């Protein structure tokens, strides 16, 4: 079933599943938004990460995803957090990876103790993959007012923003405004300055 047209559009999609799950929460203006407040939002997310048809879009799945999102949020902000690591291991315990040899070659399947854990397990498992392959490239947007995360795939590992079109341009505009304001000439009373004829002596200076 397709997500409702009223489901809010997210500002950042296409990140690895674990980070994409974290990005189901974002800030729009001054309002906190959460895609996983409704089943429509769950359906949208499952579609975004190509899990539609592989995971049920029901309330138990939604609850398990929100639970796992909280765990991943703690782990990304405080890597190695022992309590969060234990909680993630509990999520991973709901799935069992089976490897076998078929006529077409090696095959890997995952069995879940309940279908409602399939999506949450997939996100948790993906986080382990990110830690194994790119532990130093898991980033949070450098904008303090932004909560989005991303995997830095830039060649030099210097990506700072969730998007240059949004947070990057805002930071650039803020720096430009600060420079313009800092370079504006002001008139201050100083000894040895120009006499205005009313006893006040002024000189043109720049702001520090």
Best mean pLDDT range from 7-11, 66-70, 200-204? 66-70
The helix (run of H) or strand (run of E) holding residue 201 is strand 201-206
CB-based contact 143:171 (threshold 8 Å): yes
pLDDT value for 164 = 80
pLDDT value for 165 = 76
pLDDT value for 179 = 64
Entry field: residues in the chain: 208
pLDDT value for 101 = 96
CB-based contact 8:33 (threshold 8 Å): yes
CA dihedral 141, 143, 145, 148 (to 10 degrees): -10
Q: Tell me the pLDDT tens digit for each residue of 11-62.
A: 999 999 999 999 999 999 889 999 999 999 999 999 999 999 999 999 999 9
Q: Tell me the pLDDT tens digit for each residue of 137-183.
A: 999 999 999 999 999 999 999 999 998 877 966 656 555 455 666 65
Per-residue pLDDT, averaged over 88-97, amounts to 98
CB-based contact 11:163 (threshold 8 Å): yes
Architecture of domain 17-162: Orthogonal Bundle (1.10)
CB-based contact 17:135 (threshold 8 Å): no
Burial category of 140 from C-beta neighbours within 10 Å (exposed 0-12, middle 13-18, buried 19 and up): middle
CB-based contact 196:203 (threshold 8 Å): no
Ranges of each domain in the chain: 17-162
Per-residue pLDDT, averaged over 8-13, amounts to 90
Q: In percent, how much of the chain has pLDDT > 90?
A: 72
- Mean of pLDDT over the chain: 86
Q: By three-state DSSP, how is residue 103 classified?
A: coil
Provide the sign of the torsion angle of the four alpha carbons 45, 47, 51, 57, taken in this order: positive
């Amino acid at each position: 079933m397709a997500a409702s047209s009223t489901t809010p559009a997210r500002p950042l999609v296409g990140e690895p599943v674990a980070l994409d799950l974290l990005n189901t929460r974002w800030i729009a203006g001054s309002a906190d938004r959460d895609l996983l407040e409704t089943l429509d939002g769950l359906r949208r997310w499952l579609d975004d990460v190509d899990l539609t048809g592989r995971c049920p879009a029901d309330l138990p799945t939604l609850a398990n995803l929100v639970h796992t999102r909280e765990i991943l949020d703690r782990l990304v902000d405080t890597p190695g957090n022992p309590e969060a690591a234990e909680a993630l291991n509990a999520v991973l315990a709901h799935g069992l990876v089976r490897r076998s040899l078929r006529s077409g070659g090696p095959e890997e399947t995952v069995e879940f103790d309940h279908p409602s854990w399939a999506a949450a397990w997939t996100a948790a498992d993906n986080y382990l993959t990110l830690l194994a392959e790119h532990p130093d490239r898991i980033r949070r947007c450098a904008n303090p007012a932004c909560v989005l995360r991303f995997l830095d795939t830039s060649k030099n590992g210097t990506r700072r923003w969730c998007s240059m079109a949004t947070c990057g341009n805002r930071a650039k505009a803020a720096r430009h405004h600060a420079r313009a304001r800092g370079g504006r000439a002001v008139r201050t009373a100083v000894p040895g300055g120009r006499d205005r004829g009313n006893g006040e002596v002024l000189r043109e200076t720049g702001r520090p």
